[in-house]
Amino acid sequence: MMKVSILAAFGGGILSFLSPCILPLMPVYISFVTGYSVQELKEGEFSFTAILIPTLTFILGFSVVFVTLGASATFLGEILNRYLHIISRLLGVLVIVLGLHIMGIFRLPLLQKHLQLKGIRAPRGILGPAILGMAFALGWSPCTGPILASILAYASTQQHVVKGILLLGTYSAGLAIPFLLFALLFGYAVKTLQRFHRFFRAVEIISGLILIGLGIAMLKGGVFI
């Protein structure tokens, strides 16, 4: 069961990246993190390390936030271990609701709020992108919120903090790898992005169905490892 949950967490990270409010804004995110204009990035007017280092530190920033959330969720689950079966079923209902939200059956206003780029300046120095990554991890709720909340709900049913860390670390990797590839292959990625718009609705539906499946498994008590 652990292998399945790890694959689900990794897939959740990829689906978060492909969501309609992360992928279309990737050129802006990369420009903001690296300090290069979108045009400069398209024309390849940068050194490899000038893109690699800030992107990796940005990824590190949001990964630290996600992994910390995972550890916290599992730690809380350990404290409430006596009531774990009841909690799992309640969280299963929540995960199903989040799945319906991401499919667009209805919308939860809390998950519609997000961090705006307007008025935010990229911090200078090596730690700047890492700080941005932490801020964006908390501000990406319309994009990562439903999937992230579902994985955190699952993490809270695990019996060891290490499992929560592993789940959220894997989720971060699923989000980080395509993010890094987009940055390093910027020109090609932007061209591909223009053809991907037609699939955004399909990504939402697939994500929602996966969350609903996970919620049903939690209702049946089938998520313990």
Tens digit of pLDDT for each residue in 68-113? 988 888 887 766 666 666 766 777 787 788 778 777 787 666 555 4
**In this structure, which amino acid lies at residue 167?**
L
Q: What is the pLDDT of residue 15?
A: 86
Q: Is residue 224 part of a domain?
A: no
In the chain, what percentage of residues exceed pLDDT 90?
Answer: 12
On the question of pLDDT at 225 being above 60, the answer is: no
Give me the mean pLDDT over the 191-200 stretch.
Answer: 72
Is the pTM higher than 0.85? The answer reads no
Is the model more confident about 172 or about 43? 172
Q: Is residue 225 part of a domain?
A: no
> Count of domains in the chain?
1
Could you tell me the residue range of the domain that residue 40 belongs to? 2-219
Q: Is residue 55 part of a domain?
A: yes
Q: Is residue 164 part of a domain?
A: yes
On the question of pLDDT at 59 being above 90, the answer is: yes
Is the model more confident about 175 or about 155? 175
Residues 6+ apart with CB under 8 A from 1: 222, 223, 224, 225
Q: Is residue 101 part of a domain?
A: yes
Q: Is residue 162 part of a domain?
A: yes
On the question of pLDDT at 115 being above 50, the answer is: no
Q: Is residue 153 part of a domain?
A: yes
Is the model more confident about 201 or about 17? 17
Distance CA 94, CA 182 (A): 33
- pLDDT-based confidence at 64, cuts 50/70/90? very high
Closest C-alpha to 14, from 151, 158, 207: 207
Mean residue pLDDT of the chain comes to 77
Q: Is residue 197 part of a domain?
A: yes
Residues 6+ apart with CB under 8 A from 36: 30, 45, 46, 50, 51
Q: What is the pLDDT of residue 117?
A: 46
Give me the mean pLDDT over the 119-143 stretch.
Answer: 69
Q: What is the pLDDT of residue 197?
A: 66
Is the model more confident about 60 or about 135? 60
On the question of pLDDT at 211 being above 50, the answer is: yes
Secondary structure (3-state) at 123: coil
Q: What is the pLDDT of residue 162?
A: 86
